[in-house]
Amino acid sequence: MDSMKKLTTIIMAGGKGERLFPLTRDKAKPVITFGGIYRILDFTLSNCLNSGIRRIYVLSQYGSFSLEQHLRQAWDVMHPDLNEFIYSMPPQQIMVNRWYRGTADSIYQNLTLLEQERPRQVLILSGDHVYKLNYREMMDFHLQHNADLTVAAVMVPRVEGSSFGILKVNEASEVENFLEKPKDPPGLPDNPDFSLVSMGVYIFNAETLVEEVIKDAKKKTSKHDFGGDIIPQMVGHKKVYAYNFQDPVTNTPRYWRDIGLLDAYFKAHQDLLGKAPVFELYDADWPVRSKPQLYPPSKYICSGSHVTVEDSLIASGCIIEGTVERSVLSPGVKVGVGATVCQAILWDGVEVGSGAHIRQAIIEEGVRVPPGFTIGLDHERDAKRFHVTENGVVVVPNNAVMVGD
C-alpha cells in the first residue's frame, strides 16, 4: 500500500509572529507576502502537493481570518469527493476552554480529529518555512528506521548553531538530545564542524504522538512545544531519528529558512535573485503554487530618462519608469521616472513617486512613496519614522503616512 495513504498532515500556523512586527500587525505570519507573488505558507503547502499529500489540516489561531482568506483564494484546489481537503482549524474550545498553549497543545486539543482519522503516521509541519522537501522521502526514511519519531534537520556550521534548536545525534542518526540555542553546539559524528538544526518538521507514529501529547499536557512545567518538550520527553524511551536534509550527491545542506525575523525575511529574498539563485523558484519539477491573479503584463516605459532593471523579480502588472536593482516587486507596483529602488521588497500596489530613492527596505501593500522621498539612505531619520532592523532594513507598514522631503 502507498505509505502516504495512512498519513494525516497538520500544519502549525497559529503563532503570533511578534518578531516579524510590523508585518504581522494585521495578518498571520504564514500569509505574509514572500517572493513577490507567494505567501510563506505556499511553500509548505506546495511541498505537500508535490509530495502527493492531499489531506491537510492547518491549525490557525492568531489572525485566523487572513489565513482562511488565503486558503480560500489560493488553495481551493482539493476535491472533497476524493477525500482530499485543506481545512483550517482555529482552537475550537470544545475539548478544553483555552487557546493553543503551544504546538504540542494544539495537537492535544485536536485529539478527536486523530481519533476520527485514525492515521498510521502524522506529519507535522510549520507554516512559516521556505524550503522544498519531498515528504515522501522523509517517510521512506521513517519507515526504514522503524522510528517512532523522525525529525527533519539541516546542517549549519557549528559556530552558527547557537541561535537554533540543535539535535545531538549518534552515528546511526538516532537523536540523543535536543538543545535549545546551546552555547557550545554539538557537531555531527561524521562531520564535526557542522551541527544539525531541527527544521520543526516531524513524522510521528500516530499512537506515539497521542501518548506523548497527553503526557505533555499533564506536565505543569511544560511549555507544550515539540522541540523543547516533546523531543526531550521521548529521547531515551522511544526511537527518535534525525532525517538529514542534504543533497544526496554532494552531502551539502539543502535550502531551508525559518522566516522568524525581519532580517531573515529580507535575506531570504536576496536568495531568490541572480542567474543561479540560492533558492530557485524556476523549478519545473517542484512548482510553487500561489493565488491566481489577473494582471496585465508588466511594462517598462522609457519616457526620456533611463530605465534599468537588474537582478530582480518583477511580478505582473508593474509599471517601471526608473531603476530597479536586486529587488522583489509584487503585482501592480509602480516605479516613477528617475526613481531608484535598490535591495527592496515592494508588496502589491506600492507606488514609488518620481525621483524617490529606496534602499534596503520592505514596503507593505498599497504604500505611496511621495516623489523625491528617500527611504534607507539615512537610518537615523528613518528610525524616527519607521521600524529599522538590526541589519539596517527599513520596514514601512501599510498605514505609514509620508510627506515629501
Partner 1 sequence: MKTILVVDDDEAIRTLLREELEEEGYKVVIATNARDALKMVETEPLDLVILDIRMPGMDGLEALPRILGLKEGLPVILNSAYSQYQESFMSWAADAYVVKSSDLTELKVKIKELVAK
6 touching partner 1, by CB under 8 A = no
237 touching partner 1, by CB under 8 A = no
CB atoms near residue 119 (< 10 Å): 21
Interface map 93-122 toward partner 1 (x if CB under 8 A): --xxxx------------xx-xx-------
92 touching partner 1, by CB under 8 A = no
For the CB of residue 263, give the shortest distance to partner 1 in the complex, in Å.
Answer: 39
Q: How, if at all, do strands 334-335 and 351-352 pair? A: parallel
Of the residues 3, 21, 193, 214, which one makes contact with partner 1 according to CB under 8 A: 214
**Burial readout 200-216 (b: 16 or more C-beta within 10 A, e: otherwise):** bbbbbbbebbbebbebb
Distance CA 56, CA 30 (A): 15
223 touching partner 1, by CB under 8 A = no
Q: What is the chain's length?
A: 405
Nearer to partner 1, 73 or 116 (CB): 116
Interface region with partner 1, contact rule CB under 8 A, candidates 69-77, 148-156, 210-218, 225-233 = 210-218
183 touching partner 1, by CB under 8 A = no
Nearer to partner 1, 8 or 327 (CB): 8
Q: How, if at all, do strands 394-396 and 256-258 pair? A: unpaired
Distance set, CA 62 to CA 31, 45, 130 (Å): 11, 19, 20
Of the residues 79, 183, 220, 237, which one makes contact with partner 1 according to CB under 8 A: 220
Peptide bond into 30 cis (omega under 30): no
For the CB of residue 233, give the shortest distance to partner 1 in the complex, in Å.
Answer: 15
Nearer to partner 1, 88 or 110 (CB): 110
For the CB of residue 94, give the shortest distance to partner 1 in the complex, in Å.
Answer: 8
Nearer to partner 1, 102 or 355 (CB): 102
Q: Are 369 and 352 in contact (CB under 8 A)?
A: yes
301 touching partner 1, by CB under 8 A = no
Distance CA 150, CA 208 (A): 12
Nearer to partner 1, 215 or 239 (CB): 215
Nearest to 84 by CA among 43, 53, 123: 53
Nearer to partner 1, 92 or 303 (CB): 92
Q: What are phi and psi of 168, to 5 degrees?
A: -90, 120
79 touching partner 1, by CB under 8 A = no
Of the residues 79, 183, 218, 237, which one makes contact with partner 1 according to CB under 8 A: 218
For the CB of residue 219, give the shortest distance to partner 1 in the complex, in Å.
Answer: 9
Nearer to partner 1, 215 or 387 (CB): 215
For the CB of residue 111, give the shortest distance to partner 1 in the complex, in Å.
Answer: 5
Distance CA 157, CA 285 (A): 29
Distance CA 278, CA 272 (A): 6
Distance CA 151, CA 11 (A): 15
For the CB of residue 35, give the shortest distance to partner 1 in the complex, in Å.
Answer: 39
Nearer to partner 1, 208 or 312 (CB): 208
Cell 512545567, residue?
Answer: 221
Q: Are 317 and 337 in contact (CB under 8 A)?
A: no
For the CB of residue 174, give the shortest distance to partner 1 in the complex, in Å.
Answer: 26
Distance CA 13, CA 370 (A): 36
Residues found near partner 1 in the complex (CB under 8 A):
95-98, 111-112, 114-115, 210-211, 214, 217-218, 220
